[in-house]
């Protein structure tokens, strides 16, 4: 699933890093928080995808 990696990097990590550095009193800790936040969202995306895939497979087995 390369799509979740692209979403995590381009749609989350880069904008979050920019937003976090724009905050008053920002330091490297806030900039570093963009990566784990992105990883968490990517994990959720993968779990939702596999849950959906599992449901599709169950439906095919029933038919």
CA dihedral 22, 24, 27, 31 (to 10 degrees): -30
The Cα 39–Cα 12 span in angstroms is 9
Q: What is the DSSP letter of 26?
A: -
| Predicted TM-score of the model (pTM) | 0.72
- What CA–CA distance (Å, rounded) separates 5 from 45? 10
The token pair at 41 is 């969202």
What was the pLDDT predicted at 31? Answer: 85
Give the model confidence (pLDDT) of 26-57 as tens digits: 888 888 888 898 889 888 988 999 999 999 99
């Amino acid at each position: 699933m390369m799509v979740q990696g692209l979403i995590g990097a381009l749609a989350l990590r880069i904008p979050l890093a920019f937003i976090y550095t724009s905050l008053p009193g920002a330091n490297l800790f806030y900039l570093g928080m963009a990566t784990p936040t992105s990883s968490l969202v990517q994990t959720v995306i993968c779990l939702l995808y596999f849950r959906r895939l599992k449901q599709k497979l169950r439906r095919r087995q029933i038919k």
